[in-house]
């Protein structure tokens, strides 16, 4: 059993006294006779010993291969975090003031690190499992919940330790086994627990972090195909900061029908350097099957390549377009189709020149095609825009483009419109605008507006 800790002043005096008499034996961790430099966790044990977190046994040994008990785990964590160690009775039936480590156990309960068992016992002499270790470390150091996908075959969300295991694995505190198992029910030795605790305290003890994709919103690993809308924004979260300069051409999409490659410009959020956003709408096609590739050429800012490339097959949904209208006005034929859902309205609008001469039209920026659709409602002041619109992100030039629609030619736009959370009445409708110019000058225009109600075709 681990020694009862001495008062800090007395312990410091004793340590200084013995340090002056003799240094630890060469090749041994802080004087432990059974921990040599050949021991796997020599550095971790030496670190904890130097911090007076572990003291070993009276014979000058540490017994690294002995299973750690729940009392010893509480003592080590308590010393690491500076908990009150005054012996006292606890809420547990089997931990009174006479039990070694009772002060640390009581403090750990107060800090929410340990809860004990349903029979109101702590079982201080039971051995700690890898699952319990994960919970202790996770709670003690208040680790952030990881979104990393589960790589272990032997854990599941039904387990109490599930999220804690993901958390310590994501940080490199515990790495699992080569057969992709974590083995949550096997017990932990004193040396192993020292390694886990040292890694939690000092990140330099953690192995090199494998750069990997933790999650992709809307996708679960193992899914054969993902159904999605073109306005879907996919967020790729990595387990380390991503080098944004290495993203372009290393994240791309291939269309299945013709094997055309689409390079996507990921959107970088510099406040969250571990995440990037992809807008599938850059593909701008309904009812198509694609494959998204995230290649190993993507790197972290520390230069680590992606350990495992990701490939996601997805299909863009095809709207029903159950509202249709064709209108001819001022030499332009408008074909308007709407798909109405509770959350959004898909609007597909095509304008065709049905005259024998060119028709000028304008856009108000480099991203404005000259034709648009939006939601409107009627108020006492007339037509008022409402709701919001999905827009592709990108660099748009501020210049006003000048276009010419040739006879028989068409332009087409697809818009995704979002009704307001609190509708301003039942008279919501889609308003289409074609920004027709004048024959005298492109700088002035005579817009053509077409309104279409939400009433479905009979």
Indicate the burial class of 422 (C-beta count within 10 angstroms; 0-12, 13-18, 19 or more). exposed
- pLDDT of 26 higher than 50: no
Tell me how far apart the alpha carbons of residues 442 and 436 are, in angstroms, rounded to a whole number. 9
Tell me, what's the pLDDT at 444? 65
Percent with pLDDT over 70 in the chain: 88
Tell me how far apart the alpha carbons of residues 156 and 119 are, in angstroms, rounded to a whole number. 25
Tell me how far apart the alpha carbons of residues 370 and 400 are, in angstroms, rounded to a whole number. 10
Tell me, what's the pLDDT at 342? 76
pLDDT in tens, 103-157: 999 999 999 998 899 999 999 999 999 999 999 999 999 998 887 778 899 999 9
Average pLDDT, the chain: 84
Q: What is the 3-state secondary structure (H, E, C) of the chain?
A: CCCCCCCHHHHHHHHHHHHHHCCCCCCEHHHCCCCECCCCCHHHHHHHHHCCCCCCCCCCCCCCCCECEHHHHHHHHHHHHCCCCCCCCCCCCCCCCCCCCHHHHHHHHHCCCCCCCCCCCCCCCCECEHHHHHHHHHHHCCCCCCCCCCCCCCCCCCCCCHHHHHHHHHCCCCCCCCCCCCCCCCECEHHHHHHHHHHHHCHHHCCCCCCCEEEECCECCCCCCEEECCCCEEEEEECCCECHHHCECCEEEEECCCCCEEECCCEECCCCCCEEEEEHHHCCCCCCEEEEEECCCCEECCCCECCCCEEEEEEECCCCCCEEEEEEECCEEEEEEEEECCCCEEEEEEEEECCCCCEEEECCCCCCCCEEEEEEEEECCEEEEECEECCCCCCCCCCCCEEEECCCCEEEEEEEEECCCCCCCCCCEEEEEECEECCCCCCCECCEEEEEECCCCC
Tell me how far apart the alpha carbons of residues 416 and 451 are, in angstroms, rounded to a whole number. 16
Tell me how far apart the alpha carbons of residues 197 and 81 are, in angstroms, rounded to a whole number. 11
Tell me, what's the pLDDT at 426? 59
Tell me how far apart the alpha carbons of residues 387 and 360 are, in angstroms, rounded to a whole number. 30
Percent with pLDDT over 90 in the chain: 49
- pLDDT greater at residue 81 or residue 341: 81
Which whole-number Å values give the CA distances from 145 to 142, 163, 167, 272, in the listed order?
9, 7, 6, 15
Least confident stretch, 78-92, 381-395, 408-422: 381-395
- Give the position of tokens 């939601």: 375
- pLDDT of 373 higher than 90: yes
Look at phi and psi of residue 291 and say left if phi exceeds 0, alpha if psi is from -120 to 50, else beta: beta
pLDDT in tens, 242-294: 888 888 889 999 999 999 998 888 888 777 888 898 887 767 788 999 999 99
Name all domains of the chain by residue range, CATH numbers in brackets: 8-205 (no CATH), 213-316 (2.60.40.1220), 323-453 (2.60.40.2360)
- pLDDT of 68 higher than 50: yes
Band of residue 455 on the pLDDT scale cut at 50, 70, 90: low
The two tokens of residue 390 are 């999905």
The two tokens of residue 416 are 């995704």
Tell me, what's the pLDDT at 441? 54
Tell me how far apart the alpha carbons of residues 238 and 296 are, in angstroms, rounded to a whole number. 13
Beta bridge partners of 236: 216, 276
Tell me, what's the pLDDT at 437? 84
């Amino acid at each position: 059993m681990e020694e009862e800790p001495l008062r800090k002043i007395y312990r410091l005096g004793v340590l200084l006294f013995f340090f002056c008499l003799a240094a630890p034996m060469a090749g041994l961790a802080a004087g432990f006779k059974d921990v040599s430099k050949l021991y796997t966790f020599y550095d971790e044990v030496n670190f904890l010993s130097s911090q007076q977190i572990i003291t070993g046994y009276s014979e000058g040994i540490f017994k690294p291969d002995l299973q750690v008990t729940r009392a010893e785990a509480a003592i080590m964590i308590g010393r690491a975090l500076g908990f009150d160690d005054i012996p006292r009775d606890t809420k547990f039936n089997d931990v009174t003031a006479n039990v070694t480590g009772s002060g640390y156990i009581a403090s750990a309960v107060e800090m929410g690190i340990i809860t004990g068992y349903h029979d109101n016992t702590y079982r201080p002499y039971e051995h700690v499992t890898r699952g319990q270790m994960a919970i202790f470390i996770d709670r003690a150091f208040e680790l952030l919940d990881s979104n990393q996908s589960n790589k272990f075959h032997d854990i599941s969300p039904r387990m109490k330790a599930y999220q804690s295991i993901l958390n310590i694995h994501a940080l490199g505190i515990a790495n699992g086994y080569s057969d992709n198992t974590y083995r949550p029910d096997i017990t932990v030795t004193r040396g192993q627990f020292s390694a886990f605790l040292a890694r939690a305290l000092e990140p330099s003890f953690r192995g090199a972090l494998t750069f990997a994709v933790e999650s992709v919103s809307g996708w679960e690993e193992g899914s054969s195909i993902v159904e999605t809308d073109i306005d879907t924004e996919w967020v790729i979260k990595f387990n380390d900061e991503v080098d944004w300069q290495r993203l372009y051409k290393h994240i791309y999409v291939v269309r299945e029908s013709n094997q055309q490659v689409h390079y996507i410009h990921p959107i970088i959020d510099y406040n969250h350097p571990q995440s990037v956003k992809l807008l599938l709408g850059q593909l701008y096609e309904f009812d198509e099957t694609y494959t998204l590739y995230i290649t190993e050429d993507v790197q972290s800012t520390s230069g680590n390549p992606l350990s495992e490339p990701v490939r996601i097959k997805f299909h863009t949904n095809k709207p029903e377009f159950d509202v249709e209208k064709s209108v001819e006005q001022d030499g332009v034929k408008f074909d308007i189709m709407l798909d109405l859902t509770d959350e959004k309205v898909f609007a597909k609008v095509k304008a065709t020149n049905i005259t024998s001469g060119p028709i000028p039209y304008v856009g108000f920026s480099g991203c404005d095609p000259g034709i648009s659709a939006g939601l409107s409602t009627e108020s006492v002041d007339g037509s008022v825009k409402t709701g919001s619109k999905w827009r592709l992100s990108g660099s748009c030039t501020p210049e006003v483009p000048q276009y010419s629609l040739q006879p028989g030619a068409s332009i087409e736009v697809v818009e995704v419109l979002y009704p307001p959370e609190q509708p301003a009445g039942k008279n919501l409708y889609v308003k289409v605008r074609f920004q027709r110019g004048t024959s005298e000058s492109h700088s002035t225009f005579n817009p053509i507006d077409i309104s279409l109600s939400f009433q479905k075709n009979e």
